[in-house]
Amino acid sequence: MTQTLKAAVKKIAQGDNPTDRAIVLSVDKNQLTCVVQTVADELELDDVKLKPVFNDSDLSKMGLILFPAVGSYVIISEVDGDNTDMIVISCSEIESIGLDTATALKLLISGDGKLSLNTVLTTFNDGKNGGIPLLKPLTDILNKLQKKVNDLSDAFDSHIHSGVSAGTALSGIPTSKAPARIDPLIKTDDIENKNIVQ
């Protein structure tokens, strides 16, 4: 019997891999599995895979992962005709999307509009503007400069020359006004872009 014929007979014997509708009861983002309850017969199934996982190594967790929302509907299917090994193939509502790669990129987009990115280097717009400032050190430096300018302004304002006398027409203490102080001190909130945090 040829290999093609053997494969065809095996497929007929196994039947089609059945699919079923189910409701998501819980999701485990670490194990990449979920617990579901089938719609037709209300069976609770544990450890339903969210993506193909072939072994327990880190490589098995790489790739794009759709995390279904609890309470949403999913279509589940048997893996290789094994009704004890199920996988989610579609979902009605996504709670978040994860992406892991071998190059340390970790991305999570949640349903509430938050994006979490964990990587060695993140580049926006070709990186032409340099890195996003570290706000706390920048604020400290700006406040030191501001204090120095204010100290110089105060010293200039309080400096008094000794009396000047140039005959009867001119006598007294000359006064001068320094440039205005820089107040108030800069706060991190003044220069922080709260939509991009690091």
Q: What is the pTM of this model?
A: 0.57
Identify which has the larger pLDDT, 13 or 52. Answer: 52
Cα–Cα distance list, 159 to 2, 162, 175 (Å):
105, 10, 8
For the ranges 4-18, 77-91, 155-169, the one whose mean pLDDT is highest: 77-91
The per-residue DSSP string of 129-178 comes to T-PPP-HHHHHHHHHHHHHHHHHHHHHHHH--PPPEE-SSS-EE-----P
Q: For 58, which DSSP code?
A: G
Identify which has the larger pLDDT, 85 or 60. Answer: 85
How far apart (Å, rounded) are the C-alpha atoms in residues 117 and 107?
5
pLDDT in tens, 81-125: 777 889 999 999 999 988 877 666 688 888 888 888 877 777 777
Q: Angle at Cα 92 formed by Cα 91 and Cα 96, nearest 5°? A: 70
How far apart (Å, rounded) are the C-alpha atoms in residues 167 and 111?
83
| Average pLDDT of span 4-15 | 55
| Average pLDDT of span 56-71 | 78
Check whether the bond before 133 is cis (ω within 30° of 0).
no
Which one of 2.60.40, 1.10.405, 2.40.50, 1.20.1070 gives the CATH number of domain 3-121? 2.40.50
How far apart (Å, rounded) are the C-alpha atoms in residues 121 and 128?
14
Q: Specify the range with the lowest mean pLDDT, choosing from 6-10, 90-94, 148-152.
A: 6-10
pLDDT at 173 over 70: no
For the ranges 11-15, 69-73, 152-156, 167-171, the one whose mean pLDDT is highest: 69-73
Q: Which helix (H) or strand (E) holds 91?
A: strand 82-91
